């Protein structure tokens, strides 16, 4: 058994939690009552409140469980995440950003090619209803979009079936449950038949206890562990499990083109290169991820977390030290900078080197590239952390 200490500072109150060597899910598995999870507006307020966190190399699963219980914020850890990976972290930010810092530090410490016994998958944060979801970055990038496509399927159903799909229920299962067990329980609760239960591989899962989700959110979350979704048939009375397809990873929405639809389309295309844009009269039909639609419509502000949407920046600089420019960007765009001091010094590069440039409506990565390239530096962005080192 081991003992580690976490410091959590919130609203001026300092709390010490001592972690023992139990698994992340043993709190529920051993019969302790799960906290009354925050939901709705109270959850939004908790995610916006500052939290100071110090992990001196703690197992990811146990530490997330303790953070989740202490803050009363439900966290779901994807089955593909190794909960025993140890993460070192020191941060004091709004809780919603803390989750992004946790995944960024995990990625920095565990995804490099030389990590033993093997590199881990890169992680990212998403949010589904009142649940924070931490899982593989490639899957979480599209989680909410896949769910939105299933929501659009549900709203087309006859009223009685639609009500059943929209009804919310707590999502929970005990330690040792298999995916089949979990899906059969969901099917029994919802009276919705699953035609191909044997589609998923066998697995044994730890206990889970989450706040209420509606039926399509709950089923989507369960299946996301395998990069699966579902297809509704029988007027909503049954589903078939299916792999997530490219069409599930984008959703189309219509926007007014304003006074100059061509110019607006060009701006959006520059900010979201993967978006598909079609002109329908003076309207724009845009196919993109949910988070990107939120940025387009103004619902998502720059720096929002988790899973911030794409944003563009404009900046003009004349004869300013590159170090000062990067510090300015880090402070205003809310990211942490990690300079590879030794390698930079060995390359004969100084933070005092003067730079001049002008960037108009470019992504953060393109902006950083324009700043760093003239002096022989490059960057690598990992969530909220930007690492800077010499170009090879």
Which pLDDT score, from 0 to 100, does residue 303 have?
Answer: 40
Which pLDDT score, from 0 to 100, does residue 9 have?
Answer: 31
Q: Kindly indicate the confidence band of residue 312, based on its pLDDT and cuts at 50, 70 and 90.
A: low
Do 368 and 325 lie in one domain? The reply is yes
Do 94 and 170 lie in one domain? The reply is no
Do 194 and 268 lie in one domain? The reply is no
In a domain, 302, yes or no: no
Stronger pLDDT, 365 or 247, i.e. the higher one: 247
* Structural domain boundaries enclosing 339: 313-390
Q: Report the Cα 57 to chain-centroid distance in Å.
A: 22
Counting the structural domains of the chain, the total is 4
Inform me whether the pLDDT recorded for 310 exceeds 90: no
Mean pLDDT over the full length of the chain? 85
**What is the CATH classification number for the domain harbouring 353?**
3.55.50.30
Of the candidate ranges 165-179, 185-199, 359-373, the one whose mean pLDDT is the lowest: 359-373
Instruction: Summarize the confidence of residues 270-283 as an average pLDDT.
Output: 90
Inform me whether the pLDDT recorded for 168 exceeds 90: yes
Q: Kindly indicate the confidence band of residue 383, based on its pLDDT and cuts at 50, 70 and 90.
A: low
Which pLDDT score, from 0 to 100, does residue 2 have?
Answer: 28
Do 106 and 162 lie in one domain? The reply is no
Of the candidate ranges 230-234, 249-253, 297-301, the one whose mean pLDDT is the lowest: 297-301
Do 125 and 175 lie in one domain? The reply is no
Q: Residues, the chain, total? A: 392
In a domain, 222, yes or no: yes
In a domain, 125, yes or no: yes
Stronger pLDDT, 19 or 354, i.e. the higher one: 354
In a domain, 283, yes or no: yes
3-state secondary structure of 137: helix
In a domain, 112, yes or no: yes
Q: pLDDT tens for residues 278-304?
A: 999 989 999 999 988 988 887 654 444
Do 267 and 222 lie in one domain? The reply is no
Return d(Cα 130, Cα 173) in angstroms, integer: 18
Assess contact for 262 and 221: CB atoms under 8 A.
Answer: no
Do 169 and 209 lie in one domain? The reply is yes
In this structure, the number of other CB atoms found within 10 A of the CB of residue 30 comes to: 10
Which pLDDT score, from 0 to 100, does residue 54 have?
Answer: 92
Stronger pLDDT, 91 or 19, i.e. the higher one: 91
In a domain, 294, yes or no: no
In a domain, 303, yes or no: no
Do 115 and 165 lie in one domain? The reply is no
Residue ranges with strand state E in the chain: 4-10, 13-19, 50-59, 75-77, 86-94, 123-128, 131-136, 168-173, 193-194, 208-214, 228-233, 238-243, 251-256, 276-280, 283-288, 313-321, 336-339, 354-362, 377-382, 385-390
Residue that is last in its domain, among 102, 129, 156 = 129
- Beta strands 283-288 and 251-256: pairing type? antiparallel
Do 123 and 149 lie in one domain? The reply is no
Of the candidate ranges 58-67, 242-251, 301-310, the one whose mean pLDDT is the lowest: 301-310
Do 181 and 234 lie in one domain? The reply is yes
Do 165 and 111 lie in one domain? The reply is no
Q: Kindly indicate the confidence band of residue 10, based on its pLDDT and cuts at 50, 70 and 90.
A: very low
Q: pLDDT tens for residues 33-45?
A: 567 999 999 999 9
Q: Using DSSP, how many helices (H) and how many strands (E) does the chain show?
A: 14, 20
Instruction: Summarize the confidence of residues 375-380 as an average pLDDT.
Output: 92
Do 156 and 225 lie in one domain? The reply is yes
In a domain, 237, yes or no: yes
Above pLDDT 90, what percent of the chain? 60
Stronger pLDDT, 231 or 5, i.e. the higher one: 231
Assess contact for 220 and 128: CB atoms under 8 A.
Answer: yes
Inform me whether the pLDDT recorded for 4 exceeds 90: no
């Amino acid at each position: 058994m081991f003992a580690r200490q976490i410091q959590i500072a919130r609203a001026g109150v300092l709390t010490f939690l001592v972690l023992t060597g139990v698994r992340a899910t043993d709190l529920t598995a051993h019969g302790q009552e799960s906290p009354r999870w925050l939901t709705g507006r109270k959850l939004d307020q908790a995610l916006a409140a500052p939290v100071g966190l110090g992990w001196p190399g703690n197992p990811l699963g146990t530490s997330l469980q303790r953070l989740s219980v202490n803050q009363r914020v439900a966290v779901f850890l994807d089955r593909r995440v190794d909960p025993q990976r140890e993460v070192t972290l020191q941060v004091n930010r709004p809780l919603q950003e803390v989750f992004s810092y946790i995944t960024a530090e995990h990625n920095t410490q565990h995804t490099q090619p030389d990590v033993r016994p093997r590199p881990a998958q890169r992680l990212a944060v998403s949010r589904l209803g009142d649940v924070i979801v931490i899982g593989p970055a490639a899957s979480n990038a599209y989680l909410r979009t896949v769910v939105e496509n299933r929501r659009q399927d549900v709203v087309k159903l006859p009223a009685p079936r639609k009500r059943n799909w929209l009804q919310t229920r707590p999502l929970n299962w005990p330690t040792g449950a298999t995916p089949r067990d979990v899906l059969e329980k969901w099917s029994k609760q919802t009276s919705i038949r699953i035609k191909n239960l044997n589609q998923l591989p066998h697995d044994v899962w730890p206990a889970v206890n989450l706040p209420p989700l509606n039926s399509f959110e709950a089923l989507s979350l369960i299946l996301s562990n395998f990069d699966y979704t579902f297809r509704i048939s029988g007027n909503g009375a049954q589903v078939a499990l299916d792999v997530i397809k490219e069409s599930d990873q984008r959703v189309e929405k219509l926007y007014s083109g304003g006074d100059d639809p061509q110019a607006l389309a060009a701006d959006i295309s520059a900010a979201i290169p993967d978006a598909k844009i079609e002109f329908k009269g003076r309207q724009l039909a845009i196919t993109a991820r949910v988070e990107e639609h939120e940025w387009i419509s103004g619902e998502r502000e720059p720096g929002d977390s988790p899973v911030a949407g794409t944003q563009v920046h404009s900046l003009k600089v004349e004869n300013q030290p590159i170090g000062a420019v990067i510090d300015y960007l880090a402070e205003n765009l809310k990211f942490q900078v990690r300079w590879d001091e030794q390698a930079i010094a060995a390359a004969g590069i100084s933070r005092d080197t003067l730079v001049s440039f002008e960037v108009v409506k470019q992504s953060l990565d393109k902006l950083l590239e324009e700043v760093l390239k003239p002096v022989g530096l490059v960057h690598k962005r990992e969530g909220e952390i930007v690492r800077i080192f010499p170009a090879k």
